[in-house]
Amino acid sequence: MRLCVVGNSHAAALKSALATGDGAAGVHVDFFVMPGGSGPHVHAEGARLFAVPDRKEKLFSTIPGAAANGLDLETFDAVVVSAAGLPSHRNGDPSHILNQLALGAMVNDRSANRQLVSETVMTRAIENALEASANVEAIRRIRSVFRGQIIIQLSPLPTRAIAAYKVTGERGSNLAAQYGDRVWSFLNWYYRRQIDIISAFADATRASVILPDASFIEAGFTPNKYGTPDPWHMNTAYGRLVLKQALTELGLLQR
């Protein structure tokens, strides 16, 4: 079986897991990935995917000549999209909905420069942001030309380290300061909304979804042992979890 991972920076955890020897016999895995929140940013020409021009120099692929010649989807049996969901929260990203809106029922710092909204309004904002995201558009483009199996990995929840991570600064995240002790309840709520929306999209696109461990979702964070210095990105051990989920979904491992 030939499997291609198409995605953004979250695919690094999968790549490192494969580099340590994880995988399944008879499965060849290639990568077509590029950094950038909400990506991968791609366009399609026939059955080929190409990085959009301003991402081409950042493309990493194990396929020789992929930057110039694109990714020929017809040569693969399945595609894993790693990862779908709203981008990591950064203070310096004015377009991120969490820098525009705050959930009034949970927010701690009501003086922050964000509009306080209801769950209904926030849910609609999440839905609109996902609908317009590059990773959802990439999945649409893949399905329009690819008949094989598509597996969508949901972006991981941040680790608990986010509570003390660069509260100020453009690359930091002040969510813990905004929501105080309720930040984990908020992240649980925020990811569950994304799960509902992406799962419905997957059903309509004839794709399957692999989710973070149920205990992570319930807690509102990924345990620190799966983290990297950036709490939004995970390590090799997390990559092993996702790889096992993907291979199980493909019927190559027992459930």
H/E run at residue 117: strand 115-117
Distance CA 85, CA 126 (A): 10
What rounded mean pLDDT belongs to the chain? Answer: 92
**Domain ranges within the chain, ordered by starting residue:** 2-249
Q: Residue 216 — pLDDT band, cuts 50, 70, 90?
A: very high
Q: What is the pLDDT of residues 33-85, one digit of tens each?
A: 998 767 899 999 988 999 999 888 899 999 999 999 999 999 999 999 999 99
Q: State yes or no: pLDDT of 191 exceeds 80.
A: yes
Q: What is the pLDDT of residues 136-181, one digit of tens each?
A: 999 999 999 999 999 999 999 999 998 876 666 787 888 988 999 9
Q: Residue 245 — pLDDT band, cuts 50, 70, 90?
A: very high
Q: Which residues contact 79 (CB under 8 A, 6 or more apart)?
A: 3, 4, 5, 6, 73, 142, 146, 148, 149, 150, 151
Q: Comparing C-alpha atoms, which of 24, 33, 22, 32 is closest to residue 1?
A: 24
Distance CA 118, CA 185 (A): 15
Q: State yes or no: pLDDT of 7 exceeds 70.
A: yes
Which CATH number is 2-249 given?
3.40.50
Distance CA 250, CA 242 (A): 12
Mean pLDDT throughout 208-221?
A: 97
Strands (E), 24-100: 28-33, 42-45, 48-51, 60-61, 71-72, 78-84
> Strand pairing partners for 82?
7, 153
Distance CA 50, CA 72 (A): 9
Q: Which residues contact 251 (CB under 8 A, 6 or more apart)?
A: none
Model confidence, pTM: 0.93
Q: What is the pLDDT of residues 16-37, one digit of tens each?
A: 999 887 666 788 999 999 987 6
